[in-house]
């Protein structure tokens, strides 16, 4: 009797070991027909970046800078910005085709991109989709005067509508 009990015990252990090995193998495999979780969805392709209708070389230069909150103050603010040409805000050319400007609340300027959008609006900001939180919208630009507004609400309130008036070239 002892030998048949030992044989059964050994057989049961062998079957249990074989089942454990099979279950371990199945759990490490991903069989679509046996898998209970749906396959991961493919990441949507990032929309290709649209070029802005304003080229970066059009805004590189020296600018007088002022801002306004009330649209009725725009004319007065443009005159105030013109007066700032004694200490101009310099928009530099970036190494990779962008422009060097400050982001909201940043002490150090960095290279930013000019970005277009399907709606026809232009933006200045770090790489990424147009109209992101760190971007500023170019509200108007005629080559001589540029008005921008930050997209992020708090920055838009703090900085208002930024008016850049092109300074005359140095004599």
d(CA 140, CA 161): 10
- Domain residue ranges of the chain, discontinuous segments joined by +: 1-35, 56-166
DSSP-assigned letter for residue 51: B
pLDDT score of 40 more than 50:
yes
The answer to whether residues 161 and 68 touch, using CB atoms and an 8 Å cutoff, is yes
User: Residue 35 corresponds to which tokens in the numbers above?
Assistant: 């898998």
The share of the chain scoring above pLDDT 90, in percent, equals 68
Per the prediction, the chain carries an average pLDDT of 84
d(CA 169, CA 26): 74
d(CA 106, CA 102): 6
pLDDT score of 32 more than 90:
no
Give the Cβ contact number of residue 112 at 10 Å. 23
Over residues 26-51, the mean pLDDT reads 56
CA angle, 14 then 17 then 22, to 5°: 125
The answer to whether residues 110 and 78 touch, using CB atoms and an 8 Å cutoff, is no
């Amino acid at each position: 009797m002892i030998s048949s009990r030992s044989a059964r015990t050994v057989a049961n252990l062998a079957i249990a070991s074989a089942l454990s090995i099979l279950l371990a193998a199945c759990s490490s495999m991903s069989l679509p027909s046996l898998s209970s979780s749906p396959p991961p969805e493919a990441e949507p392709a990032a929309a290709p970046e649209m070029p802005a209708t304003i080229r970066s070389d059009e805004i590189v230069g020296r600018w007088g800078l002022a801002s306004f909150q009330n649209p009725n103050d725009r004319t007065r603010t443009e005159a105030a910005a013109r007066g700032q040409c004694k200490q101009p805000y310099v928009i530099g050319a970036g190494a990779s085709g962008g422009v060097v400007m400050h982001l909201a609340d940043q002490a150090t300027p960095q290279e930013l991109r000019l970005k277009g959008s399907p709606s026809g609006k232009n933006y200045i900001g770090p790489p990424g989709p147009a109209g992101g939180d760190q971007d500023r919208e170019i509200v108007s630009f005629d080559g001589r005067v540029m008005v921008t507004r930050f997209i992020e609400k708090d920055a838009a309130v703090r900085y208002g509508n930024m008016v850049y008036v092109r300074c005359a070239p140095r004599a």
